[in-house]
Amino acid sequence: MKAFHRFVNMVSEHGPFIFLSPSAYAIGNCSHEIQFGLIRARREGKKLVILFPFALPRKFRFPVANRDIFDLTSPYRADIPEPIQFLARAALTAVYGSFSALSLVLGKILGPAAHLPGRFTHPAIGLSALWKREEEPADFRWDVVEGFDWPEELQKPLEVGLRPEKRAQAHARRLEMGLPENAWFAGLHVREPGFSNPNEEDTCRNAAIANFIPAIREITSRGGWVVRLGDKSMTPLPPMERVIDYPHTRFKSGLLDLYLISECRLYIGMPTGILETARLFQRPTLITNMHNMTMCYPRHPGDRGIPKHVYSRSKGRFLSLREVIDGPWEVQHYQTIGDDFVLFENSPEELRESVAELLDSLDRGYQPLSPLQVAANRLRVENGRRLIQIPLIKDHYEDMHQRYCIAARIESSLGSISRRFVEQNWDKDSGAGIGTIPSASSAPAVRPAMIQ
């Protein structure tokens, strides 16, 4: 499979087209990879060809989170004739479908450990060449990262959107849903356990929607609307003026998801999948309840974020923001949260203040960063560079891919933590809105703030 990927990368390197099969099963990965694929095409003066497999029956099916995302339009994307596109997708399905079947057979005979790595069973064409030119360099090198000039590439506007006929279709649904023609609105996404497995360990990416009600009211008090995004498993919102609990309406669809994200005046969300979709459409963003500031940080200069509070059992106190930013992976929850640490959600007042700060910035224009915001950004980059000098994954091929991808995020993120949050928590955590402190023996891995 490596030889196959090298061949495709060679064709992309020397031909007029760049071939990419993004991670269709996850909307966040898919959005992220399409964005960087379009950026590569723009940088190299080529056209991006996006491929994804056909649906297969039952256990062989390739999951697709949102099929409409493969139909976005951009001047950097190639429009392939239908017959050629059909043949390419058929070949992709045959190759990866065969390896997927083999993986299932091996797992059935030899046990789960015998399953093939994901790059064999899920299409990953072109991914290895998005963040580095070498297919598999001997080791991670910062000069390779710096050669791409990611800050300039990610700050430059990227033309991407829905096709006119699909946008018109979604716009009609918007009006039918009750969102007025000229109303400005915020998209709000607060991940809850029902999206996947309620018992999963990755609960650090979840939060309570009730904590966001003051922030919602801050938006509506200024004349805006709020469209809550997500899925039907989410806790319903109480009825509020100019608020649409979209997942619980009959209008929910993949196309309307993309339309609402692309049209919102600002996007408020967690470090979850559709944050990357908002970034693909380059929407002004507030990231709340951040748990990993190395990988997921406000990207554009006007974007803002606020991290969760981190309690250290061994120290018997909450860590300052400075300590969290300068901490190891175990504090930031790269693959898991360290046993010594407990995460607490942002309080309702922190969320409201951060939303107000971003809205003020949108109304008045970009505000220069404070000295503490600049210091936080500098420390984050310094620590991030240290953290990814050490291998993250045993598989060298996957490790190189992951580290170069993270490095692009470290280098390109020019936003900041919200001004008031930095002021309140830089040298000592304020403990704003935090509930009962956990005991060393009984605390869960992630504990929410008290809902007010």
Helices (H), 111-149: 118-121, 142-146
- Same domain for 298 and 396, yes or no, is yes
Task: Look at residue 152 and tell me if it is in a domain.
Answer: no
- Same domain for 66 and 203, yes or no, is no
pLDDT, residue 421, reads: 97
Q: How far is the C-alpha of 29 from the C-alpha of 31, rounded, in Å?
A: 6
Buried b (16+ CB within 10 A) or exposed e, 200-223: eebbbbbbbbebbbbbbbbbbeee
pLDDT, residue 257, reads: 97
- Same domain for 217 and 289, yes or no, is yes
Task: Look at residue 445 and tell me if it is in a domain.
Answer: no
pLDDT, residue 447, reads: 38
pTM for the model stands at 0.89
- Same domain for 192 and 80, yes or no, is no
Task: Look at residue 286 and tell me if it is in a domain.
Answer: yes
- Same domain for 314 and 416, yes or no, is yes
- Same domain for 102 and 191, yes or no, is no
Task: Look at residue 297 and tell me if it is in a domain.
Answer: yes
Task: Look at residue 448 and tell me if it is in a domain.
Answer: no
- Same domain for 310 and 252, yes or no, is yes
Q: Answer with the one of 111, 130, 149 that is the final residue of a domain.
A: 130
pLDDT, residue 393, reads: 85
Task: Look at residue 451 and tell me if it is in a domain.
Answer: no
Both structure tokens of 206: 């979840």
pLDDT, residue 445, reads: 39
Task: Look at residue 58 and tell me if it is in a domain.
Answer: yes
Q: How far is the C-alpha of 109 from the C-alpha of 95, rounded, in Å?
A: 22
CATH of the domain at 277: 3.40.50.2000
How many structural domains are present in the chain?
Answer: 2
- Same domain for 395 and 340, yes or no, is yes
pLDDT, residue 440, reads: 41
β-strand partners of 417: 305
Q: How far apart are the first and last CA of the chain?
A: 53
Q: Return the closest-CA partner of residue 95 out of 131, 38, 127, 56.
A: 56
- Same domain for 17 and 115, yes or no, is yes
- Same domain for 228 and 300, yes or no, is yes
The structure tokens 């869960």 sit at 444
H/E stretch holding 24: none
- Same domain for 186 and 330, yes or no, is yes
Yes or no: say if 352 and 218 are a contact pair by the CB < 8 Å rule: yes
- Same domain for 168 and 126, yes or no, is no
List the pLDDT tens digit at each of the 452 positions of the chain. Answer: 666 666 677 777 778 999 999 988 889 999 999 999 999 999 999 999 998 877 766 666 667 788 899 999 999 999 888 888 788 878 877 777 777 778 777 777 888 777 777 767 777 888 888 998 765 566 888 989 999 999 999 999 999 999 999 999 999 999 999 999 999 999 999 998 876 554 455 577 889 999 999 999 999 999 999 999 999 999 999 999 999 999 999 999 999 999 999 999 999 999 988 999 999 999 999 999 999 888 899 999 999 999 999 999 999 999 999 999 999 988 887 767 888 999 999 999 999 999 999 999 999 988 899 999 999 999 999 999 999 998 888 888 788 888 999 999 999 999 999 999 999 999 999 876 555 555 443 343 333 333 32
Task: Look at residue 144 and tell me if it is in a domain.
Answer: no
Both structure tokens of 335: 């693959």
- Domain coverage including residue 68: 2-130
